[in-house]
Structure 1
Amino acid sequence: LAGAKSSLFYQAFRIIQEMRDATDNLYPAIAVWENVMGAFSTNDRMDFRAVLSAFSDTEVPMPPSGRWGNAGMVRGGTPDVCWRLMDAQYWAGSRRLARRQRIFVVADFGGRRAADILFKPRPMLPLPPPCGEGGRTAAEGDRTASFETGRQIPVTHPFQCFRMRGAAKRQEETAFRNSFGLPTDPFPTLLASDVTPFAFWYEGDPKGGCIRFLTETESERLMGLPEGWTKYGADGMEIRPLQRYKALGNAIALPCADYIMAGIYEVLADRAGKEE
């Protein structure tokens, strides 16, 4: 956590501490920290240790293996701290979401409920309502309706651009072909700095296909967001496509956020019910 940008974390944590001091340790009751998977390994894996130590208000030792697990907890004091690596592609239900691995740390300042928030199985929240001119939702995993109405079945091959560039640089033909992906593969992580291309055609007509980029609406769907979510700014003005791509590349996948917020609501509502 060295460098100018790291001050954002410490400033955020300072705000949490000042809020708790000002409210006699009532608020915030729970804090959530989210970051990329690489936070496990930066600065010889010491950065993530610093995050856990800051939240748990204790010196957290490195694990015996020298590596952070994809899930874990810091127990024994206050706050109660748990972390978990979540990949959006597995939280999509019937939808197709992009691969997006993110670390979530939950700190419970009022009890030992972090594990209930982050590890408890709970049902997926319902899909966003239909939107757009066709009135269709973003979840089109069932082919039955397409067959019944005679519509063509789209086929997509998402390109793994990082693998593709590496294979091209090393002139590895097999690895380059493998980077073209399969129809069952998840879309690679959406980036703020790049737009992912993919091969597209209709089933039975591969020669009529093309290589194209995701539209802004398709990118929103891959993040689990309602269509048009990034179309307008707070001032009501339409946002340029490039800025929408950047926003989506920096966004949190909605199903993962839904799961965590549902857990927070559940434990806070349970506490409120017991206090009545």
Structure 2
Amino acid sequence: MAAQAMQYGSVCSGIEAATVAWQPLGWQAAWFSEINPFACAVLTEHYPHVVNHGDMTTLPTRILKGEAAAPDVLVGGTPCQAFSVAGNRESLQDARGNLTLTYVEILDAIDLVRHTRHQAPAIAVWENVPGVLNTKDNAFGCFLGALAGASCELQPSGTRWTKSGCVYGHQRTIAWRVLDAQYFGVAQRRERVFLIASARTDIDPTQILFEHHRLRRDFAPSRDTRQETAKSSVTGAIERGTPSSTAVTPAFSESGFAQFSPANVAGTLRASGGANGLGSETLVADVVAISGNIIDRAPQHGGNGLGVGQDGLSPTLTSADRHAVAFDLTQITNPHNRSSMVIDKPAPTLLASAQMHVVSFQSNAGAAISMPVFEELTPTLTTSAEKVAVCHQYEVRRLMPVECERLQGFPDHYTQVPYRGGPAKDTPRYIALGNSMAVPVIRWIGQRINDFLRRLEHEQH
């Protein structure tokens, strides 16, 4: 099957990050499988001609009966809640966790039908949270064993499964790797396990998922350590087309669809407003990202992680928390014209005082902020090693849906669809985006598959 003619089926489709990622590659969706009402509304709005089969547990029978296509690629991120801390990590004891094994049943049905039609076996692309690598019941080993065709679960060589690896089974070859979305052009820390498997004898998934003979992709961005105070660090200006010698405010220039790279030179301004519908090709930002699981919570609650982001990166978007940002007001010369910010409408002032603009943060084991972020009160000073930080002239507000769309690599307002008799509310949009895959990562995987198949065709001819 030629790379440009690839057809895929999507399970646990959500709002279809795979389709947004793979349509530019020329791939076509054969069917979706989604039951969430809001996600289904998004699919109906954007892809009305693609059938949604609903409950994925019905797919093995549908495929074997010919009621659903047996495509070249099966993609899906089975529910991660069963393997995450937020979902109490019930693993395969959770019905959602068992959908991981249903995914294998679907792949087996696809391969059986394709074999009877003398077609090559399918390529599986699967995604989940890193927590799946370390569960008490060895859920990942069960998944690998089922994919490989083993008669029992596979065991890791150590105490837990590593962040990357491969299995050469008698039924399929499998490769997996933890990838972080922040290294694919979006300002979000989002580590996820991506797995590729296939029974094709001419495909080695390690050649697709791993990058050989080159530097690893997961290296940290290099930035000079700031020596100035927060106030002085944002007083300079970045002039269009010239390097910034005085400003240390980071600039992000558009390098591709929904991708922005740090730069000291502003990107070329175009009348089109950018490939992703943004108002400019260069964004100037000096923001502090605040994790939603610490807002309005006491120090001993929440704060599953650092809490306050660094380097202008958002914490991982989830379906449970709505993150916030604190941004420097000195970047905005006109409070009614915020074109330099990554927003499409004025943000409401959440601070108690419109004059002082101070936000207090506390660093401790339980939470990075010990009080509601919109109150201008310092956290309680203690004799321990805790430190209190204060950001002056900053405004704090929650992330808007359009920002979450950009953090996941979707087009602006992609989730703003008609829902239940009116425009979609913010809450279902946040949940859907938090449950989705990062578009640039899944696009990279699709491109790697395309490139591999092209090389294979070239060698065969």
TM-score (normalizing by structure 1): 0.77
**2:401 aligned residue:** 216
**Does the 8 A contact of 2:124 with 2:198 survive in 1?**
yes
Q: Does 1:12 align with 2:96?
A: no
Alignment of 1:110-129 (within 5 A): 110-111=200-201, 112-120=203-211, 127-128=256-257
Deviations 1:223-272 (A, max 9, x none): 1222222223699x743221111111001011210111111112233334
**2:173 aligned residue:** 80
**Does the 8 A contact of 1:191 with 1:250 survive in 2?**
yes
Matches of 2:330 and 2:428, distance apart in 1: 33
Q: Does 1:266 align with 2:451?
A: yes
Q: Does 1:101 align with 2:230?
A: no
Specify whether residues 164 and 53 from structure 1 end up closer, same or farther in structure 2 by C-alpha distance, changes over 3 A only. same
**1:37 aligned residue:** 130
SS, match of residue 218 in structure 1: helix
Letter in 2 for 1:21: L
1:214 CA drift (Å)? 0.9
The higher relative CO (CA closer than 8 Å, separation ≥ 6) is in: 1
1:158 CA drift (Å)? 0.8
Letter in 2 for 1:155: D
**Does the 8 A contact of 1:154 with 1:202 survive in 2?**
no
**Does the 8 A contact of 1:34 with 1:102 survive in 2?**
yes
SS, match of residue 168 in structure 1: coil
Matches of 1:223 and 1:152, distance apart in 2: 17
**1:90 aligned residue:** 183
**Does the 8 A contact of 2:329 with 2:395 survive in 1?**
no
Structure richer in helix, relative to its length: 1
| Residue among 24, 28, 31 paired with 2:115 | 24
1:113 CA drift (Å)? 1.6
Q: Does 1:193 align with 2:317?
A: no
Letter in 1 for 2:110: M
Matches of 2:283 and 2:434, distance apart in 1: 30
Matches of 2:404 and 2:132, distance apart in 1: 25
**Does the 8 A contact of 2:409 with 2:438 survive in 1?**
yes
Matches of 1:27 and 1:6, distance apart in 2: 29
**Does the 8 A contact of 1:153 with 1:202 survive in 2?**
no
Structure with larger Rg: 2
SS, match of residue 189 in structure 1: coil
Gaps of 5+ in 2: 1-91, 218-254, 270-281, 333-390
Matches of 1:234 and 1:275, distance apart in 2: 50
Identity of aligned residues (%): 27
1:16 CA drift (Å)? 1.5
Matches of 2:193 and 2:323, distance apart in 1: 23
Letter in 2 for 1:252: M
1:62 CA drift (Å)? 1.8
1:204 CA drift (Å)? 7.1
Q: Does 1:227 align with 2:412?
A: yes
Deviates more, 1:261-270 or 1:251-260: 261-270
Letter in 2 for 1:168: P
Deviations 1:168-214 (A, max 9, x none): 117xxxx9xx74344x1521011112210121114578644211011
